[in-house]
């Protein structure tokens, strides 16, 4: 097939849907990947109603073989993956660093780092052969800044951020863009947003600490623009004070 394809791993009602719409309206086929078929299929149908070619693929991003299988199926169906976005749609609960266990760290590393490495490995040969492509990743703000009582996913996200910076430096000369969005905000309509609103996800933030909300469409625009301009490897939202 000649239609360009974006694979969205961790597709959900927040940024995943925003990116699907952004790229889909530019003529990309959209491959949606997450654990559960029912919500994926519903999202694919929403996109189809908007004139966007979308197809659902299931995979647990903690399972390296499942990630590899999904991307093999996507490339078989669409011929190539021109852009990949990796952003697990996993509502997170912050915990004190002093309470973090090895088992909890392992679980986050499997989700935020191992799955990412497998996904990159699956699409990179094709991108290198074509000397073009974009690898986009969504990270939580704790990837860059560790705060008291706000650990949990942070150590794994920090590992992913380190990996992506190295990857950016290696692949930029080959025409492949690696970019990340480091986000210290709640994405509207996301699973995390819904859980916070319902009370199912307790934030337990330190006194005086607030997390702003942001539109998924605004973030999709930011990532898309970064992939077009290729000027910086990392976008930070909210922007850091100058």
**Residue 93 belongs to a domain:** yes
**Residue 28 belongs to a domain:** yes
**Residue 222 belongs to a domain:** yes
**Residue 86 belongs to a domain:** yes
Please tell me the predicted confidence (pLDDT) of residue 194. 67
* Crossing angle of the two packed helices 115-130 and 64-78, in degrees rounded to 10: 30
Q: What is the domain extent for residue 180?
A: 5-237
* Crossing angle of the two packed helices 216-229 and 15-24, in degrees rounded to 10: 50
Please tell me the predicted confidence (pLDDT) of residue 203. 66
Please tell me the predicted confidence (pLDDT) of residue 192. 63
Please tell me the predicted confidence (pLDDT) of residue 150. 85
Please tell me the predicted confidence (pLDDT) of residue 195. 65
**Residue 242 belongs to a domain:** no
**Residue 46 belongs to a domain:** yes
Please tell me the predicted confidence (pLDDT) of residue 184. 87
Which of 37, 7, 172, 12 has the alpha carbon at shortest distance from 91? 12
Please tell me the predicted confidence (pLDDT) of residue 188. 77
What's the pTM? 0.92
| 176 three-class SS | strand
Alpha helices in the chain (DSSP H): 15-24, 37-49, 64-78, 102-109, 115-130, 154-171, 191-198, 216-229
Which distant-in-sequence residues (6+ apart) come within 8 Å of 8 by Cβ? 16, 19, 20, 30, 31, 32, 33, 84, 85, 87
Give the CATH number for residue 177: 3.40.50.720
Please tell me the predicted confidence (pLDDT) of residue 189. 74
Please tell me the predicted confidence (pLDDT) of residue 205. 63
Count of domains for the chain: 1
**Residue 194 belongs to a domain:** yes
**Residue 65 belongs to a domain:** yes
* pLDDT under 50: residue ranges of the chain: none
């Amino acid at each position: 097939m000649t239609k360009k394809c974006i694979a969205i791993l961790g597709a959900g009602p927040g940024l995943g849907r925003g990116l699907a719409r952004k790229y889909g309206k530019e003529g990309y086929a959209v491959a949606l990947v997450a654990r559960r078929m029912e919500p994926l299929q519903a999202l694919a149908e929403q996109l189809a109603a908007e004139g966007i070619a979308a197809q659902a693929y299931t995979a647990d991003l903690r399972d390296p073989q499942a990630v590899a299988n999904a991307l093999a199926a996507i490339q078989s169906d669409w011929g190539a993956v021109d852009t990949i976005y990796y952003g697990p749609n996993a509502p997170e609960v912050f915990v004190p660093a002093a309470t973090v266990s090895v088992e909890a760290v392992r679980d986050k590393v499997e989700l935020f780092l191992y799955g990412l490495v497998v996904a990159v490995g699956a699409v990179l040969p094709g991108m290198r052969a074509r000397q073009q492509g974009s690898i986009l990743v969504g990270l939580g703000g704790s990837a860059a800044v560790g705060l008291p009582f706000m650990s949990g996913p942070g150590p794994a996200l920090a590992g992913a951020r380190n990996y992506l910076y190295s990857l950016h430096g290696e692949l930029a000369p080959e025409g492949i863009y690696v970019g990340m969005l480091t986000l210290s905000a709640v994405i509207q309509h996301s699973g995390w947003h819904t859980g916070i609103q319902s009370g199912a996800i307790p934030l337990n933030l330190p006194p005086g600490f607030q997390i702003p909300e942001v539109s998924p469409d605004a973030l999709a625009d930011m990532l898309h623009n970064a992939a077009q301009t290729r000027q910086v490897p990392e976008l930070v939202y909210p922007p850091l004070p100058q």
